[in-house]
Amino acid sequence: MEIRELFKLAGILIVVIGLALRLRTTLVVVTAGLVTGLAAGMPLFSNEGIFTGMAIVTSQGKTGLINMLGKAFADNRLMTLFIITLPAIGLSEKFGLQRQAGDLIGRIKAATVGRLQITYQLFRVLHGALGIRLNGHPSFVRPLIFPMSVGAMQAKAGSKEVPDELIERIKASNAASENYGNFYGQNLSPVQAGILLVYGVMQGLGFTISIWDLVLFTSPVVVASIIFAIIQFRWLDRRLDRGLERQA
According to the model, what pLDDT value does residue 82 have?
60
Q: For residue 214, what pLDDT is reported?
A: 87
Task: Give CA torsion, residues 50, 52, 58, 63, to 10 deg.
Answer: 120
Q: What is the pTM of this model?
A: 0.61
Distance CA 16, CA 33 (A): 13
pLDDT in tens, 7-39: 778 888 888 998 888 888 878 888 888 888 888
Backbone angles phi, psi at 21, to 5 degrees: -85, 0
User: Where is average pLDDT lowest: 108-112, 154-158, 244-248?
Assistant: 244-248
C-alpha to C-alpha distance for 111 and 237, rounded to whole angstroms: 11
**pLDDT per residue as tens digits for the range 122-181:** 999 998 888 777 767 777 787 888 888 888 888 887 777 888 888 899 999 999 999 999
pLDDT at residue number 233: 94
- Supply the pLDDT for residue 55: 46
Q: How far are the Cα atoms of 1, 179, 185, 209 from residue 19, in angstroms, in the given order? A: 27, 21, 28, 38
- Using an 8 Å Cβ cutoff, are 152 and 105 in contact? yes
Share of the chain above pLDDT 70, in %: 77
Q: What is the pLDDT of residue 8?
A: 77
The mean predicted confidence, pLDDT, of the chain is 79
Alpha carbons 222 and 213: distance in angstroms, whole number: 15
Summarize the confidence of residues 102-122 as an average pLDDT.
83
Using alpha carbons, select from 164, 169, 162, 150 the residue that is nearest to residue 112.
150
